[in-house]
């Protein structure tokens, strides 16, 4: 996991490992003007699976795989968030 509290910026298609023993997430963009999507990915190598999670753009505090994230900004091209300790 990157340093807690540090801002992370992902563009569409980039992934981020939440922390050791947790899943990866991939920013999947915005399917509409008020909703952003994050794909949660389990597994590694050639075996694994992923699913999309959808959040309202105004929602700032989310939890994925038990890891709290504070979303600062979401646009169709990128998302900016901090990992909350």
Q: What is the pLDDT of residues 11-67, one digit of tens each?
A: 999 999 999 889 999 999 999 999 999 999 998 778 889 999 999 999 999 999 999
Q: Of how many residues is the chain composed?
A: 85
9, 78, 84 from 13: Cα distances, Å: 12, 9, 22
Domain ranges of the chain: 7-83
Give me the helices (H) in the chain, please.
none
- Residue 43 confidence (pLDDT): 82
- Residue 3 confidence (pLDDT): 66
Show the tokens assigned to 13: 């298609």
Does residue 1 have a pLDDT over 60?
Answer: no
d(CA 2, CA 71): 16
- Residue 4 confidence (pLDDT): 65
């Amino acid at each position: 996991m990157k340093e807690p509290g540090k801002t992370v910026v992902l563009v569409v298609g980039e992934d981020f490992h939440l922390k050791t023993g947790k899943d990866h997430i991939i920013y999947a963009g915005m399917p509409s003007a008020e909703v952003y999507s994050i794909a949660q990915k389990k597994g590694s190598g050639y075996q694994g699976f992923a699913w999309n999670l959808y959040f309202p753009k105004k929602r700032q505090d989310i939890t994925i795989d038990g890891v709290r994230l504070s979303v600062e900004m979401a646009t169709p091209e990128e998302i900016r968030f901090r990992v909350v300790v």
